[in-house]
Structure 1
Amino acid sequence: MIFGIGTDLCAADRMAAKLQKPAFVQRVFSPAEQALLNERGGTHRAETAAANFAAKEAFLKAAGTGLGGFALTDLTVLRKESGAPYFVLTGPAAEWTAANALTPHLSLTHENGLACAFVILEQNK
């Protein structure tokens, strides 16, 4: 059963400017995400950051909490070897998801400087 659906859009050029601020990077991206971003250069870094940020906001919308529902660093977005994105949840986000028997599903795309994320929270009850 679907618990919630969320989507978000983020501009890569806006994210490129934000990535220049270490405080922003530390507040928004977990250490694992920071490592992922450091592996990617140029426009790929900004596109990945924009997609990850959009994924976090889409998750919060699907959860019904909006920004401030969980720490953004508790919503880590990584990629499988195939490139498929997935969440690694920690802290209160992981506890809330487990307590509500939820499985997050994530799809990301980017084109023409925009990154889009779509999240479905599936309830397993």
Structure 2
Amino acid sequence: MIYGVGTDICDVRRIRASLERHGERLAQKILSEAELATWKERSERWPDRGVRYLATRFSAKEAFSKAIGLGMRMPMTWRHCEISKAASGKPEIVLHGPLKDWFETRQLSVHVSVTDENEYAASFCVVEKNDF
């Protein structure tokens, strides 16, 4: 059964401008430790890819927060929600801390799709209630 659906579109230019103003602090606020390591690696080699990586993570986390119906309120936090990928390249959401507990208690599962082009990143998220 569908629990919630969320979508988000992010203007990559806004993320770029925020990075110019706030530097790495912006990435540290939004990204998990694993995501931050990937962001740093991409940013050093290809700065534009680093910006788009941050924008896609921002967008996916926003879409997820909408799908679970919390927005950015506890237990939903930027760093407790990690956008990872399977070996196949499929994006996956990995939850941590109180958000993971909240999600598992409700017997939910999630599907996420992420895309980006030069100036926009977009995400779509479906959360299902598992009927065991």
User: Aligned pairs, how many?
Assistant: 125
Match of 1:61? 66
Letter in 1 for 2:38: L
Unaligned runs of at least 5 residues, structure 2: none
Unaligned runs of at least 5 residues, structure 1: none
How far apart, in 2, do the equivalents of 1:18 and 1:81 lie? 31
Match of 1:15? 15
2:101 corresponds to 1:99: no
Percent of aligned positions with the same letter in both sequences? 37
Q: How does 1:1-125 map to 2 (within 5 A)?
A: 1-20=1-20, 21-40=23-42, 41-69=46-74, 70-125=76-131
Q: Would the aligned equivalents of 2:12 and 2:51 in 1 still touch at CA under 8 Å?
A: yes
Structure 1 moving runs of 4+ over 6 Å:
none
Q: Which has the larger radius of gyration?
A: 2
Scaled by the length of structure 2, what TM-score is found? 0.87
Scaled by the length of structure 1, what TM-score is found? 0.92
Report how far residue 12 of structure 1 moved.
1.4
Report how far residue 93 of structure 1 moved.
1.2
Instruction: Give deviations 1:8-46, integer Å, cap 9, x for gaps.
Output: 011112112333423222211111011111222221111
